[in-house]
Amino acid sequence: MIASLIIIGLSVLIIAVVLILYIFSHGKYRDMIKPLNGKDYAFFFMLPAGLRVMDMIKYTYSNGDRKLRESFSELYGEKYALFYLRIHIANKISTAMVFLIIISLFALYTNLRSLNASLEERLVSMSGNIIFRPEFNPDTYKNGAADISVEAEIRSGGGKTAKSYDIKVPMQIPVDETCVDLTVKDLEENFIKANKRIFENGISAGLDFRGYASPLGCGIVLKTESEQAYISESGELTQPEPEVTEPPVLRVSLLVSKGEVIKQTSSFSVKILPAAVEVNPIDALDETVRQINSNNSDAINSASIEMPALIEDSEVSWSESEVSADNFQYIIFIGGLFVAALAFISMDSDVEKHIKKRRELIKRDFPEFISKYVLLLSCGLTTYDSFKKILEDNHNTAKTFDGRPIYAELETAVREIDLGKAEVYAYEDFGLRCRIPETMKFSSLVIQNLRRGTDDLLVLLKEQVSDVWQLHKAEIRRRGEEAGTKLVFPMILSLVSVLLLVIYPVFASMNF
């Protein structure tokens, strides 16, 4: 119980702190996150809370953060690298906070239930094989019966067999008419209507109607309208004679009584099927405990429940089990904290995935770009004019460069030149921002031509065009092979399914 109280306290504290952070940070950082695309962040609404935490703890950037800054510099440029690094760390914090909220809510729910069950168990006591029932409480009766864990030791044939049970102990309810009305209602809904199809198809065991009634101390007997009484008043089944070929169908109803109040359920039909059941002591004890848990009708009018001391000629001794805490909820809480921490750490790998995807997209578009550039350069255009022409052609086909980062970097280079930056430095930065060997080699050739005025630029560029197209083809072949490899497992599953469809009828028709 102490562990449950600690976890409940921690859960409430975590939920309260996160909610306070969310409320008091939402307005302060609204303008900072406005330029961001909410679709890029799973918990965009919690970003202000993450930024608030960074300011509160005065977050200092580590060596790992400096590496991330280099990645963001490649993705968004050096000017915005620090901003996106701050947003990324805030996103990690906010994601961990969401995980903590979910874990805390789950821990709060499970531990409150466990605490409530522990408090209920204190109302129930046991001495020997006698369980003392709690007094009736009209405010908590509908919450269900209290539970108590007991352990039975069966001594039979010189051996001992121990088994644990959870016994439901209802309150003492000395009510007559209300008990009868509720019991009739329960039998109508939970027994007659719920088992209608089973009764029509036929039963081979007795009718356990007491298991479907409320534990309100009512006497329940079964009334048959047929002269052939295959079912007793208690619901026990009498097997039909072997010469009976047509299973008998009986019309029966249930009489519910308590004190001077007697009421009857609606009648229903039951088909009787012959059955033979062998019962061992454990099965019999299981069935007895199930009936006790569902009804307790034999001891409902007393202040205690008497557990059976003899089952199928086997002696049974009872003792109360020690109440053990449910470790599962503690494992879930601690495991959830670990998952939150893991989510915080693993989000850095998403940045690396974006970097890898960006470079792959640049490699995919670079052969097309350099081929256009060489063609325009051969026609007499300068490098700057060639870049502008390539951008114009791409703007005519697409309004934005989403998914085509090489053209976005090309546009940045042209804009920098228009703003007065030297072409040499603009082309150098273009190659560095793309961060692949092909673009660095390309920018080096262009810069070398601008500085020294070499005559063999076109020859060198044409060689590079040939090389990059060969690499592009090799990459396409590699991806095709990977796709084929990924299809092997689904093809095997399809083959196995077809074989099963073909082979199963053959085996089904064979007599073994």
| pLDDT tens figures, 255-290 | 888 888 888 888 888 887 765 445 577 777 787 777
| Residue range of the domain that includes 395 | 351-488
Check whether 428 has a pLDDT greater than 70. yes
Check whether 142 has a pLDDT greater than 60. no
User: Do 168 and 317 share a domain, yes or no?
Assistant: yes
User: Do 66 and 139 share a domain, yes or no?
Assistant: no
| Pairing outcome for strands 249-258 and 159-169 | unpaired
Give the pLDDT score at 180: 83
CA-nearest of 174, 137, 252, 169 to 206 is 252
In a domain, 164, yes or no: yes
User: Do 141 and 264 share a domain, yes or no?
Assistant: yes
pLDDT, mean of residues 65-79? 82
User: Do 44 and 145 share a domain, yes or no?
Assistant: no
Check whether 379 has a pLDDT greater than 50. yes
In a domain, 330, yes or no: no
In a domain, 495, yes or no: no
pLDDT, mean of residues 343-349? 73
Distance CA 184, CA 460 (A): 96
Among 78-87, 304-313, 496-505, name the one with the lowest average pLDDT.
304-313
Q: Which residues pair with 25 in a beta bridge?
A: none
Q: Give the confidence band of 77 by pLDDT, cuts at 50, 70, 90.
A: confident
Number of domains in the chain: 3
- In degrees, to the nearest 5, what angle opens at C-alpha 416 toward C-alphas 378 and 464? 35
Q: Give the confidence band of 324 by pLDDT, cuts at 50, 70, 90.
A: very low
Distances in Å between the Cα of 171 and the Cα atoms of 124, 302, 323 are 10, 10, 20
CA-nearest of 253, 250, 265, 269 to 200 is 269
User: Do 170 and 228 share a domain, yes or no?
Assistant: yes
- Residue predicted with more confidence, 402 or 433: 433
Check whether 349 has a pLDDT greater than 60. yes
Check whether 397 has a pLDDT greater than 60. yes
Give the type of residue at 345. I
Q: Which two tokens stand for residue 494?
A: 């399809």
> What backbone phi and psi angles, to 5 degrees, belong to 442?
-60, -50
In the predicted model, what is the mean pLDDT of the chain?
80
Going along 81-141, which residue ranges are E strands? 125-127, 130-132
Say how many residues make up the chain.
512
In a domain, 31, yes or no: yes
pLDDT, mean of residues 45-74? 85
Q: Which two tokens stand for residue 404?
A: 């085509």
Give the pLDDT score at 385: 92
Q: Which residues pair with 159 in a beta bridge?
A: 156
Contacts of 477 (CB under 8 A, 6+ apart): none
Distance CA 15, CA 375 (A): 63
Give the pLDDT score at 16: 92
Task: Check if the beta carbon of residue 408 is closer than 8 Å to that of residue 49.
Answer: no
Q: Give the confidence band of 404 by pLDDT, cuts at 50, 70, 90.
A: confident
Q: Which two tokens stand for residue 395?
A: 């703007």
Residues 444-461 have pLDDT tens digits of 989 988 888 767 888 888
DSSP string, 230-248: -B-TT--B-PPPTT--S--
Check whether 66 has a pLDDT greater than 60. yes
User: Do 111 and 135 share a domain, yes or no?
Assistant: no
As to burial, measured by CB atoms within 10 angstroms (0-12 exposed, 13-18 middle, 19+ buried), residue 298 is middle
Residues 144-187 have pLDDT tens digits of 667 777 888 888 777 788 888 888 777 776 668 878 887 888 88
Give the pLDDT score at 372: 92
In a domain, 230, yes or no: yes
User: Do 86 and 193 share a domain, yes or no?
Assistant: no
In a domain, 512, yes or no: no
In a domain, 435, yes or no: yes
In a domain, 501, yes or no: no
Give the pLDDT score at 175: 67
Distance CA 64, CA 452 (A): 41
CA-nearest of 121, 469, 68, 69 to 325 is 121
User: Do 136 and 279 share a domain, yes or no?
Assistant: yes
User: Do 307 and 407 share a domain, yes or no?
Assistant: no
Coil vs helix vs strand at 267: coil
Task: Check if the beta carbon of residue 310 is closer than 8 Å to that of residue 85.
Answer: no
User: Do 153 and 277 share a domain, yes or no?
Assistant: yes
- Residue predicted with more confidence, 277 or 372: 372
User: Do 359 and 297 share a domain, yes or no?
Assistant: no
**Could you say which of 323, 338, 372 is where a domain stops?**
323
Give the pLDDT score at 210: 65
Check whether 375 has a pLDDT greater than 80. yes
Check whether 474 has a pLDDT greater than 80. yes
Q: Which two tokens stand for residue 151?
A: 């352990």
User: Do 6 and 103 share a domain, yes or no?
Assistant: yes
